[in-house]
Amino acid sequence: MASTTRLILNDLHAHGRLNHQQWLTLLAEAQSAPAFAEEIRTCAHAIRERYFGRAVYIRGLIEISNYCRNDCYYCGIRKSNGEVSRYRLSPNEILQCCRQGHDLGFRTFVLQGGEDAWFNDDRLARLVAAIRAEFPDSAITLSLGERSRESYERLFAAGANRYLLRHEAVNPDLYASLHPPRQRLANRLDCLRNLQAIGYQAGAGFMVGAPGQTLAHIAEDMVFLGDFRPAMVGIGPFIPQHATSYAHEPAGSVDLTLILLSLIRIMLPNVLLPATTALGTMDPQGHAKGMRAGANVVMPNLSPADVRGKYLLYDNKMSFGSEAAEGLDTLRQHMAEAGYKVVVARGDQPPLEN
Ligand code: 5AD
């Protein structure tokens, strides 16, 4: 068994992809044999070092709106959650966040939000152009859900560089169990392909331990990531939110998340890979453990402090301390103690070596 799985790991390292059965075998062994998981981690970390050294790229996360037309069953800001106090930042407030962030040393701004119709193409394109004009040395990442190809093209032309859109689950049955029928997996995947074709550094990803998710589903997601070859991958543990259908489901595993971070690093050596807020929420050492597993990005919260408590995708979501832009010194210190260095840089994807 052990030698079979080592061969599969070598295969992943050499070719950057595996088939479903290989993934399943590898994941099962990594989960049951800590020594093998450690081997995977060591391999992933060596790749991280080769591409990024000990650098930690930081992104200023601005949560621009928690209005959302979607109703994802797992998400705290889903449309049908009547407990949410809804807010929307004005373009001026968003620019102000960028100014603060730039002063703090951020060179990537991530505008993330629910699918809020107020942010139509005209308003968003104007906002992106204003950020692009004021911060020519910074990258603009958007994370605003499914939009038309034309919309993605306009925003790219206005100056956006990257787009995060987790695919959530590539298995049709699992996707359908996590989302209402009007949210179509096919549309999600079309959006991702459009983003990549337009020239965005595109990011996909999924929750680890989403309700109903099996190791076989995760294996499918890994096959998908190997085929799609995203520039960024966002994964974090599922965390229940008390006002959703999944309030009483168990949270996802930190250990499995770390294993997956390592395997993603091995599969996609130059990928931009955050230790996510969900990981940091589940484990106070989440950032450091993430870096040691092969992650290279942290996304502290740059939203105005008074709205942070309203962007609650899940319960107890961290938005202060080392998860906050103003807590950057704390993050720097945590990272330094773990042997890493927060850098002031756009942090684009480096080219693949061979
Ligand atoms: N737990 C963890 N992650 C969540 N997301 C949404 N709800 C939750 C939750 N309850 C993730 C989804 C989405 C991203 C913005 O946050 O994967 O793509």
Q: What is the pLDDT of residues 196-227, one digit of tens each?
A: 999 999 999 999 999 999 999 999 999 999 99
Residue 272 within any structural domain of the chain:
yes
pLDDT given for residue 303 in this prediction: 95
Residue 65 within any structural domain of the chain:
yes
Which amino acid residue places its CA nearest to atom 7 of ligand 1?
A: 75
Range of the domain at 202: 2-343
What is the number of structural domains in the chain? Answer: 1
Ligand 1 probe mutation, 64, 207, 279, most atoms within 8 A of CB: 207
Share of residues in the chain with pLDDT > 70 (%): 99
What does the alpha-carbon distance between residue 106 and residue 141 come to, in Å, rounded to a whole number? 12
Least confident of 65-79, 286-300, 309-323: 309-323
3-state secondary structure of 106: coil
Residue 141 near residue 163, CB atoms below 8 Å: yes
Query: How confident is the prediction for the chain on average, in pLDDT?
Result: 97
How confident is the model over 256-281, as a mean pLDDT? Answer: 98
Q: Give the number of the atom of ligand 1 that is nearest the alpha carbon of residue 143.
A: 15
Cβ of residue 313 lying under 6 Å from some atom of ligand 1 = yes
Q: 354 CA distance to ligand 1 centroid (A)?
A: 34
How confident is the model over 173-195, as a mean pLDDT? Answer: 98
Residue 10 above 60 pLDDT?
yes
Cβ of residue 207 lying under 6 Å from some atom of ligand 1 = yes
Residue 301 within any structural domain of the chain:
yes
Residue 348 within any structural domain of the chain:
no
Q: Residue 339: left if φ>0, alpha if ψ -120 to 50, beta else—which one?
A: left
Residue 1 above 60 pLDDT?
no
Q: What is the pLDDT of residues 89-127, one digit of tens each?
A: 999 999 999 999 999 999 999 999 999 999 999 999 999
3-state secondary structure of 198: helix
How confident is the model over 290-300, as a mean pLDDT? Answer: 98
Q: What is the pLDDT of residues 56-84, one digit of tens each?
A: 999 999 999 999 999 999 999 999 999 99
Q: What is the CATH number of the domain that holds 207?
A: 3.20.20.70
Which amino acid residue places its CA nearest to atom 18 of ligand 1?
A: 166
Residue 349 within any structural domain of the chain:
no
Residue 192 within any structural domain of the chain:
yes
Residue 354 within any structural domain of the chain:
no
- DSSP summary character for residue 211: T
- How far, rounded to the nearest angstrom, does the alpha carbon of residue 337 sit from its chain's CA centroid? 24
Ligand 1 probe mutation, 164, 185, 238, 245, most atoms within 8 A of CB: 238
3-state secondary structure of 14: helix
Residue 322 above 90 pLDDT?
no
Q: How big is the chain by its Cα radius of gyration, in Å?
A: 19
**Residue 327 Cα distances to 98, 186, 289, angstroms:** 16, 39, 19
Q: Give the number of the atom of ligand 1 that is nearest the alpha carbon of residue 168.
A: 17
How confident is the model over 167-191, as a mean pLDDT? Answer: 98
pLDDT given for residue 2 in this prediction: 67
What does the alpha-carbon distance between residue 230 and residue 249 come to, in Å, rounded to a whole number? 29
Residue 341 above 70 pLDDT?
yes
Residue 100 near residue 302, CB atoms below 8 Å: yes
How confident is the model over 244-256, as a mean pLDDT? Answer: 96
Residue 54 near residue 339, CB atoms below 8 Å: yes
Residue 94 near residue 64, CB atoms below 8 Å: yes
Q: Give the number of the atom of ligand 1 that is nearest the alpha carbon of residue 207.
A: 17
Residue 41 above 90 pLDDT?
yes
pLDDT given for residue 43 in this prediction: 98
Residue 325 above 90 pLDDT?
no
Residue 353 within any structural domain of the chain:
no
| Cβ-proximal residues to 324 (8 Å cutoff; 6+ apart), any chain | 300, 301, 308
pLDDT given for residue 335 in this prediction: 97
